[in-house]
Amino acid sequence: MTQYLSHPRIVPDTVEDRRYQTLLAESCMNRDTLVILPTGLGKTVVALIVAANILEKGKKVLILAPTKPLVDQHNITFSMWLRDTSVAVMNGNMDPERRAQLVAENEVIIATPQSVAHDLETKRYTLREFGLVIYDEAHRGVGNYAYVTVASYNTSGRSMGMTASPGSDREKVMEVCQNLCFTHIEMRTEYDSDVSPFIYETYIKRIGVKLPQDLTDISDLLHGLLDSYCRELTRMGFMNPARPPSISYMLEIQNALQMLIRSNQRTTYVYRGMVVQAVCVKLLHCIMLIETQGMTPFRNYVRGLKDEMRGAKPSKSTIELLRKEDFNKAVRLSSESRMEHPKISKVMDLVRQTITDRPESKVMVFAQYRDMCELLVQKLSQLQNASVAKLIGQSKGGLKQKEQIELLNRFRSGECNILVSTSVGEEGLDVSSTDLVVFYEPVPSDIRTIQRRGRTGRKNDGEVWVMVALNTMDEAFESASAKREENMKAMLERLNYDLARTVRKPAPRGQRTLGDF
């Protein structure tokens, strides 16, 4: 028989009582804690329990989420589960005076961090009445992201972070903890004894595909060009031949060249190095598109380069690349070919089988690039009983956040059963009961891989299929992601020992002493 949480602030018989969630909540009440919990295992429930306890103490709660769809999702959840509690939503489209009024009149505020950071900096209100600040997708709390600004004003209330994966980079995780004032990390995995009873199986399967001749012919031409430019960088002394070319390595070379320019070494030699390095970046991108995406994204990228050439100030690297005979030969081959990437037919087969065997199924397909999303929507829409929607971000004429919310509601309700998404669909959004998740390509980020994978296996068993083009960059990305995920847990356990000694709450603003400096 299901046991439910009993709490004066939580609606009876709504939230299942799970021991690991109450233990995590207890830790968050005692210390400023970053909670790491696989997607679908109830990070929001942990936040709810902590918030309910803070509210009972007469303090307010601030919940921050990086996007409006996530804010909207939290508003639905907390409004439904909390009782005798006033909940309000704030965002940057509201008048600042209206936001200040909402803070004054409500106990729980759910907001985007940019709006709150702006209000705090302009002194429209303070966080003195707030006993808890919750940072959803807390791994974003680096650099100058608005979470960091808000945390600097939270001098007395508890800090709580939620994420499915903070990443495997120790320095970055430490930065998150320092920026958001976390002194402790609580992590659970699907293998922990108190968690495993609530886990649905997620079966991760890999489909390797061989590139057809049309794609390998183009790839060979591009690799030949890349090799010649890398040899030039090596002769100039800017590249180590023992290191294979990659985008990250090329960015290192770019930084080194820019340092030379800043130190007044503005020679023809250095500027030539900048051009060669930029050509290498473009070639690496072209190779990645041909090998892992297909003809259409490659053609679209080349079209962008040609548009740049027709503009007022094309870059020297674009001019040089478009004048290369082998590059133009690769472009001609792509325009003459009717071949697309073999991954596409594999994705279509998987989706067709899923919605044929179980017509009520929901499917998510992730693709790195919008061009690929467009093509996949076009192809999948041809399947019988397929109602396909495309989830993309706001930039460059994409979906506004209100449109994203409406689309996700359509997917949840079953109005559409296939959702093709870029990275905007990876983070935090509750699209539970997804039966199949397909990665059109592996991604080298452990955070993004875990987020994508978490779209299934929430309320029933689910499948994750990863498309991998053999002997291409796909395999390098796949290996990098697996290695980083493997290293993450051991790193976090070591990091926990350091946090209590290094992280402190900021001093109240305007009341600092010499010791603070």
3-state secondary structure 158-225: EEEEEECCCCCCHHHHHHHHHHCCCCEEEECCCCCCCCHHHCCCEEEEEEEECCCHHHHHHHHHHHHH
Is 500 part of a structural domain of the chain? no
> Does residue 491 have a pLDDT over 80?
no
CA distance 132 to 62: 6
Tell me the per-residue pLDDT of 2-43, one tens digit each, with 9 for 90 and over: 789 999 999 999 998 998 999 999 999 999 999 988 777 788
pLDDT given at position 482: 66
Tell me the per-residue pLDDT of 365-420, one tens digit each, with 9 for 90 and over: 999 889 999 999 999 999 999 999 998 877 777 888 788 888 888 988 889 999 99
> Does residue 328 have a pLDDT over 60?
yes
Phi-psi region of 433 (alpha: psi -120 to 50; beta: other; left: phi over 0): left
> Does residue 488 have a pLDDT over 90?
no
> Counting Cβ atoms within 10 Å, is residue 37 exposed (0-12), middle (13-18) or buried (19+)?
buried
CA distance 113 to 70: 12
Q: Are residues 326 and 236 in the same domain?
A: yes
Q: Are residues 248 and 139 in the same domain?
A: no
CA distance 407 to 404: 5
Q: Are residues 400 and 422 in the same domain?
A: yes
Note the Cα 108 to chain centre separation in Å.
26
When pLDDT is averaged across residues 455-475 and rounded to a whole number, the result is: 74
Q: Are residues 169 and 50 in the same domain?
A: yes
pLDDT band of 515, cuts 50, 70, 90: very low
CB 221 within 8 A of CB 261: no
When pLDDT is averaged across residues 117-130 and rounded to a whole number, the result is: 96
Q: Are residues 51 and 143 in the same domain?
A: yes
The domain boundary, picked from 336, 358, 381, lies at 336
Is 376 part of a structural domain of the chain? yes
pLDDT band of 274, cuts 50, 70, 90: very high
CA distance 324 to 120: 54
Q: Are residues 284 and 361 in the same domain?
A: no
When pLDDT is averaged across residues 84-100 and rounded to a whole number, the result is: 94
Give the CATH number for residue 85.
3.40.50.300
Q: Are residues 45 and 148 in the same domain?
A: yes
When pLDDT is averaged across residues 491-501 and rounded to a whole number, the result is: 73
pLDDT given at position 191: 67
3-state secondary structure of 69: helix
* Count of Cβ atoms closer than 10 Å to residue 377 Cβ: 18
Q: Are residues 30 and 81 in the same domain?
A: yes
Is 179 part of a structural domain of the chain? yes
Q: Are residues 170 and 261 in the same domain?
A: no
Q: Are residues 239 and 255 in the same domain?
A: yes
Q: Are residues 158 and 228 in the same domain?
A: no
Give the CATH number for residue 289.
1.20.1320.20
3-state secondary structure 306-355: HHHHHCCCCCHHHHHHHCCHHHHHHHHHHHHCCCCCHHHHHHHHHHHHHH
Tell me the per-residue pLDDT of 281-292, one tens digit each, with 9 for 90 and over: 999 999 999 999
The domain boundary, picked from 445, 460, 475, lies at 475
Tell me the per-residue pLDDT of 49-62, one tens digit each, with 9 for 90 and over: 999 999 999 999 99
In which domain, by residue range, is 364 found?
Answer: 202-209+341-475
Q: Are residues 356 and 315 in the same domain?
A: no
> Does residue 169 have a pLDDT over 90?
no
Is 495 part of a structural domain of the chain? no
> Does residue 346 have a pLDDT over 90?
yes
CB 158 within 8 A of CB 131: yes
CB-facing half-sphere around the CA of 225: CA atoms within 13 A: 27
Determine what percent of the chain is predicted with pLDDT higher than 90: 63
The domain boundary, picked from 283, 304, 336, lies at 336
Which residue has better confidence, 191 or 147?
147
- The total domain count for the chain is 3
Is 485 part of a structural domain of the chain? no
Both tokens of 207, joined, read 């489909």
